[in-house]
Structure 1
Amino acid sequence: MKLNLTELEIRILGSLMEKELTTPENYPLSMNALQSACNQKSNRDPVLNLGEAEINQGLAGLAAKGLARRTTTGGRVDRYCHSLGDKLGLDPAARAILTELMLRGPQTPGELRNRCERMVQIADPEGVEGLLAKLMQFGPPLVIRLPRQPGRKEARYLQVFAGMPEITEEEPLEDAEKGPAQVRPKTPPRRERVLQLQEEVASLKGELGDLRQQVQGVIAAFK
Structure 2
Amino acid sequence: MSDDSQTPDFPVLDATLARVLGCLIEKEATTPDAYPLTVNAAQVAANQKTAREPVMSLETGKVQHALRQLETLGLARQHFSSRAERYEHLAGVKLDLPRQQVALLGLLLLRGPQTAAELATRSERMAKFADAADLRHQLERMQQRGLVVQLPRASGQREDRFMHLLSGPVDVEALAAQYRAPSAAAATVDNSALEERVQQLEATVAALQEQLAALQEQLGG
Q: What TM-score bracket applies, with the shorter chain setting the length? A: 0.7 to 0.9
TM-score using structure 1 length: 0.71
Distance across 2 between alignment mates of 1:35 and 1:48: 10
1:121, CA displacement in angstroms? 2.2
Q: Distance in 2 between matches of 1:69 and 1:78?
A: 11
> 1:80 is matched with which residue?
87
Q: Deviations over 1:8-43 (max 9, x none)?
A: 100000000000111112110111111111111121
Aligned twin of 2:151 = 146
The question of 1:50 aligning with 2:58 is answered: yes
1:135 corresponds in structure 2 to: 142
Q: Is the Cα–Cα contact under 8 Å of residues 23 and 46 in structure 2 kept in the other structure?
A: yes
Structure with the greater relative contact order (CA < 8 A, sep ≥ 6): 1 or 2? 2
The structure 1 residue matched to 2:69, chosen from 33, 39, 61, is 61
Q: Matched residues in 2 for 1:2 and 1:86: separation?
A: 13
Alignment of 1:1-223 (within 5 A): 1-73=9-81, 75-138=82-145, 141-168=146-173
**Which segments of 5 or more consecutive residues in structure 1 lack a partner in the other structure?**
172-223
Q: Is the 8 A contact 2:149 2:164 kept in 1?
A: yes
Give the Cα separation in 1 of the matches to 2:85 and 2:68: 14
Question: Which 4+ runs in 1 deviate beyond 3 A?
Answer: none
Amino acid of the structure 1 residue aligned with 2:56:
L
SS in 1 for 2:114: coil
Q: Following the alignment from structure 1 to structure 2, what is the Cα–Cα distance between the partners of residues 27 and 98?
A: 18
SS of the aligned residue for 1:117 comes to coil
Q: Distance in 1 between matches of 2:12 and 2:58?
A: 20
Q: Percent identity?
A: 40
* Structure number, greater radius of gyration: 1
SS at match of 2:83: coil
SS in 1 for 2:153: coil
Task: Encode CA deviations 1:127-157: one digit per residue, 9 max, x unaligned.
Answer: 111000010111xx00000110111121100
After TM superposition, the score normalised by the length of structure 2 is 0.72
Instruction: Quote how far apart the aligned CAs of 1:91 are.
Output: 1.8
When the two structures are aligned, how many residues end up with a matched partner? 168
